[in-house]
Amino acid sequence: MTAFSLDRSTLDMRRGACPALSSPMMTGDGLLARVALTDPITPSQLADLCRLARRHGNGIVDISARGNLQIRGLSEASAPLLDADVRALNLPLRDGLAVETPPLAGIDKTEIADPRPIAEAIRQGAREIVDLAPKMSVVVDGGGQLRLSDLLADIRLVAVSTDEGLRWTLLLGGTETTGRVFNVLRETEAVSATLALLRKLGKKGPKARGRDLAAGLSTNGAPGRTASPFGTFRLSGDLFAAGIGPAFGQANAEDLIALCNEAERLGIQSLKPALDHSLLVFAGQTACEALAAFAGNNGFITSPSDPRSAIAACPGSPACSSATVATHELSAKAAEDCGDLLDGSFKLHVTGCPKGCAHPEPSALALCGTAAGLSLIAQGKAADKPFASVAFADTNNSLRRIADLVRDERRAGENSAACLARLGPRRLAAAVTSGRS
């Protein structure tokens, strides 16, 4: 049994704070509690969670970039009630260290190795380790159709097939591209090496992160960008998965309940919130396709070609009191107007303030709300130096001018990310200011 904590130190809006179910975090629209699951649940269990979000919160449910459910708009009085009611549902809730595996692990015939036994052994072994950072995370990625390459991790194990057999590359900090290679290990060594590193981090205290052990190590040059979870995936046997997502990672409880009811009607028994703000449902091909069609007709993202899936937007205004812009409105307009720019080769980062909660890594293009309007940042994080600043009223036009420039300048076979990088901040700034009088 986990005790509920409303310690004031958790009620802040600092980055790095972790809004777990029993220690919710204060946001602009009240307390936010996270429901992290280790295994799939049924559509009716998800509908039950949505009803609790409506009863105890403001009825807004997020699916985070890491695939956690987040229930918003709780009060100090309602948050403990939500905690108790969620625990009474007997869901497979994650307790302790976050050890994440790809959402298709164990049922994806293209994976190099099933990462779940290693992940479970790390989870068990880490139970005795104290003083780890609250957001410490371990990724165990066995390969396959949906990888976790772009998620930040303190420690990452990645399966590789070698002439000598299966090996696990252990990386420290960052994504799979930016993480530093610590070692390449046999399966039997991977768990003990990870636990030894976690013990070392525990000894350093709750501020220590994986990157702190990476001095002097190099990256392995792995390419970035995980495949989109939206669309249909063929798994083992007759099993398929359909990836569906609420626009910008946020849905009304009613819309999710309607989706769950339809899933039940179609005989779907299993679903799981997953990476990149998606919901993966597992069933036969016909049921998966029927649910995806229902979801598409009801405003959900169902395809990687949906430009909304190429935008990372934080909740923004009015949900977050730090926000100066309505990020979802801005993002919806960008998706409508700039579909060819949003080709899936990069995430357009739309953020209500420089904290950049929705995309901690650099992006090819970011729009950041400021007191005076919006900053535009190229190849950087939200807090980096902008190449242009525009008034609120000019935002859509500015973005359209960038989209026009990329359309005109794109070379054969070049995607938007590569084109934006080649054009550089000076050309982008000139395009933004070109139409101004």
Residues in contact with ligand SF4 by CB under 6 A are 13, 314-316, 320, 322-323, 351-353, 355-357
Nearest CA to 304 out of 339, 271, 332 is that of 339
* Residue among 256 and 353 whose Cβ is closer to ligand SF4: 353
Minimum CB–partner distance for residue 352 and ligand SF4 (Å): 3
Q: Is the dihedral of CA 57, 61, 65, 68 positive or negative?
A: positive
The CA-to-CA distance between both ends of the chain, in Å, stands at 64
Which pair of structure tokens corresponds to residue 225? 């960008």
Question: Tokens 């046999």 sit at which residue?
Answer: 186
Minimum CB–partner distance for residue 149 and ligand SF4 (Å): 23
Closest residue to ligand SF4 using C-beta atoms: 352
* Residue among 65 and 357 whose Cβ is closer to ligand SF4: 357
Minimum CB–partner distance for residue 376 and ligand SF4 (Å): 16
* Residue among 25 and 113 whose Cβ is closer to ligand SF4: 25
* Residue among 10 and 351 whose Cβ is closer to ligand SF4: 351
Minimum CB–partner distance for residue 86 and ligand SF4 (Å): 23
Minimum CB–partner distance for residue 274 and ligand SF4 (Å): 21
| Residues 313 and 384 sit within 8 Å (Cβ to Cβ) | no
Identity of residue 115: P
* Residue among 38 and 331 whose Cβ is closer to ligand SF4: 331
H-only helix segments in 173-274: 187-204, 253-265
Nearest CA to 115 out of 131, 100, 95 is that of 100
* Residue among 123 and 381 whose Cβ is closer to ligand SF4: 381
Minimum CB–partner distance for residue 316 and ligand SF4 (Å): 6
Minimum CB–partner distance for residue 243 and ligand SF4 (Å): 24
* Residue among 179 and 356 whose Cβ is closer to ligand SF4: 356
Which pair of structure tokens corresponds to residue 73? 């708009």
The DSSP 8-state label assigned to residue 347 in this structure reads P
Identity of residue 109: K
**Per-residue CA distances from 319 to 25, 61, 147, 315, 316 (Å):** 13, 12, 30, 6, 6
Which pair of structure tokens corresponds to residue 402? 């960038």
Minimum CB–partner distance for residue 188 and ligand SF4 (Å): 42
| Residues 191 and 125 sit within 8 Å (Cβ to Cβ) | yes
* Residue among 136 and 323 whose Cβ is closer to ligand SF4: 323
* Residue among 54 and 328 whose Cβ is closer to ligand SF4: 328
Minimum CB–partner distance for residue 275 and ligand SF4 (Å): 19
* 3-state secondary structure labels for all residues of 57-74: CCCEEEECCCCCEEEEEE
Q: How many CB atoms lie within 10 A of CB 89?
A: 13
| Residues 11 and 26 sit within 8 Å (Cβ to Cβ) | yes
